[in-house]
Amino acid sequence: MLTRKLLTLLVSLVAIQIAGFCQSPPETKPCTAKPDWYTQVQKPDTGWDVTIVDRDQKMGTSARRPSTNPALEGTRWTEYALRGKYFAFTEVVVDSCSRKVTLRTEHLLLDHAYGVSLDDRTFALVLSGNCGTLEGEVWTAAGCDTSITIIDTTGSGKFDLLKFGHWAPDSIPAWVTQSSKPADQNQ
């Protein structure tokens, strides 16, 4: 009698398991999350190629620029000549739906380049211009103006941190305020 009850219970459990496997999987909602663009990209090994900025050819005198950011108090802004029209940078796009990261080379059609310095130590370059795409020699404007701030975070002379959409650095790197570093000769 006990064996029969046990057998009946076992058959019932197997039937429930089979019924569970035969059911349709629950409906999943499609992912509607939009991709995220990372606006800060670091290149610590080589830094960003800033040879497009002619730091030997100033477009006027450097001047203190009023800032609403107290962290930039005392900085000087110098406009530099440009050696070319387009600045290439890496855009990082993260798609959480497909769980993919895409690295794309994008370009900024440059209008101006400014060096930001404190005590003759240039720690940032601010590039302003037009958004768009460059395919071969054909520029297609995207209808926006923006800036890219590139910062030398270590004092090595390599501008290793790029901030897309930033019109000015957020702060002055620690190496700039340390008295042991030599003054920048290209200010």
Residue-level pLDDT, tens digit, the chain, 187 residues: 444 443 444 344 344 444 444 555 667 788 888 888 888 889 999 999 999 999 999 987 777 776 778 899 889 999 999 999 999 988 888 998 888 998 888 899 999 999 999 999 999 999 999 988 899 889 988 888 999 999 999 999 999 999 998 899 999 999 999 854 455 544 4
20 found inside a domain? no
Output the pTM of the full model. Answer: 0.75
142 found inside a domain? yes
7 found inside a domain? no
| Tokens describing residue 92 | 């990082």
Cβ–Cβ < 8 Å for 181, 175:
yes
Domain count, the chain: 1
**Dihedral sign (CA 57, 63, 68, 69):** positive
For 41, the domain range is: 36-176
17 found inside a domain? no
97 found inside a domain? yes
